[in-house]
Amino acid sequence: MASPVSSNDEGAFKTPKNVRVRSPLSTGGTPITIPASPFMKKLGCGTGVNVYLMNRWEKQNASPWAVKKINTKCVSKQVSVYQQRLSEEAKVLKEINHPNIVGFRAFTVAKDGSKCLAMEYGGEQSLNDLIEKRKESGMKAFPAAIIEKVALHVARGLQYLHNEKKLLHGDMKSCNVVIKGDFETVKICDVGVSLWLDENMKVSAPKAEYIGTEPWNPKEALEGGEITDKADIFAYGLTLWEMMTLAMPHLEMLEDDDEEDEEDSVEESFDEDAYYERLGTRPPLDTKALGSSYKRMVELFYLCTEQDPKKRPSAAQIVQALESNNTL
């Protein structure tokens, strides 16, 4: 393995205007101009939020930012909840500094009270976008070397979060990995549902809630068990599986038919009970079709998706194995 201008700007405006604000979390309180969302390219969306590309023309050779804002149309009755979540994400992201994690740039509050989180623009596309495009082109799994590169860089980011910051990402999946160019850089994004870990790598806060995304959630999260750093590792394993299968975990039955006119019949034939029974388990993988070059990534996938969290490797162990080219 997921904020700027006005709560009414998503279509109710007449003359959109830039919002120039002084951010309490930006460097030196420098005034920051956030364009109204119609003037920014939409990069993607998540639960209750949209992310936009902000080009900073006011500074020569300035790198663009990704700006997250609340989608008030989707969360009209829960805006305060999502605003608070965005504030918490900004606080967490501000303390993170790692080459494999999208960096903090600014946190601003517009005149109407809506909040905007500006982040490093980590790449042109999400890993999920690349998976979808590869599938639509009729191609098969990503080359083993590319999967291994993504595996190493994401594991480095997770090792930093787990060991140095004592944070569980909490929503690992291909949508939350951004890629620049031809896999020149690989960065984890969206720490909005992260949870604090104690010295034993356990989520111990009594009211802490693991959110994640259903198809990537481990069994312990689905059944109210103890959550540790290994919850991220399970979802990480499924992210590698996505690159090998070009599919979403446990939704294979939706991949059988691409015909639009058969969409209703697919929906009617969807076995919801079977789907929920499979959640938190290891999805099938055709290792013969992949071939011998994928051996290390197949082994890593199997280790990361062990049912028992204690049998899964830590992020640090994954990094050590991949960097040294040792047996996983």
In whole angstroms, what is the distance from residue 233 CA to residue 247 CA? 19
Residue 121's contacts (CB-CB under 8 Å, 6 or more residues apart) are: 53, 63, 64, 65, 66
Residues with active-site annotation? 171
Q: Which tokens belong to 42?
A: 């939409």
Alpha carbon distances (Å) from 302 to 195, 217, 250, 279: 25, 15, 16, 16
Tell me if residue 152 falls in helix, strand or coil. helix
Which segments within the chain are labelled E, that is strand?
Answer: 19-22, 31-34, 41-46, 49-54, 65-70, 104-109, 115-120, 125-126, 167-168, 177-180, 185-188, 195-196
Identify the residue whose tokens are 């199997």.
Answer: 302
In whole angstroms, what is the distance from residue 162 CA to residue 98 CA? 12
Identify the residue whose tokens are 């120039």.
Answer: 20
Q: Is 323 exposed, middle or buried (0-12, 13-18, 19+ CB in 10 A)?
A: exposed
Q: Give Cα 102 to chain centroid, integer Å.
A: 11
